[in-house]
Amino acid sequence: MSRSTLVGALLIAALSFASAKAVAQGNPSTVPSFDVWCLELQLFPATRCDSRNSVDTQAYEHYRALAEKFAQQKAEHERHDQEIIDLLNRDPFGIKR
């Protein structure tokens, strides 16, 4: 498995976990906050997360950018899939039910 594939798989797993947790907490955002990313996904100690050093902040911003790009691509795929489903399931005679 290539490094980029592994990073992508880990990102998807982390997003799934973070998204499920956010929805359970009533927050629909799919990108976790810096604190959640630092403490729960990176498993860094609280003192390191509280200091918010520039290296960690840059790493989080990179993660956030990838997560947002992934979410946009996923939404586009879902819209496209729904368009195809709607096209395939339309009534050829125009009868509304």
Number of domains making up the chain? 1
- Per-state percent for the chain, helix, strand, coil, to nearest 5: 75, 0, 25
pTM of the model: 0.59
Query: What amino acid is encoded at 35 in this protein?
Result: D
- Tell me, yes or no, whether 94 lies in a domain: no
- Tell me, yes or no, whether 18 lies in a domain: yes
- Tell me, yes or no, whether 97 lies in a domain: no
Give the CA angle between residues 39, 58, 62 to the nearest 5°: 90
Domain carrying residue 79: 3-89
Q: Is the dihedral of CA 67, 70, 76, 81 positive or negative?
A: negative
pLDDT in tens, 37-95: 999 999 999 999 999 999 999 999 999 999 999 999 999 999 999 999 999 988 777 66
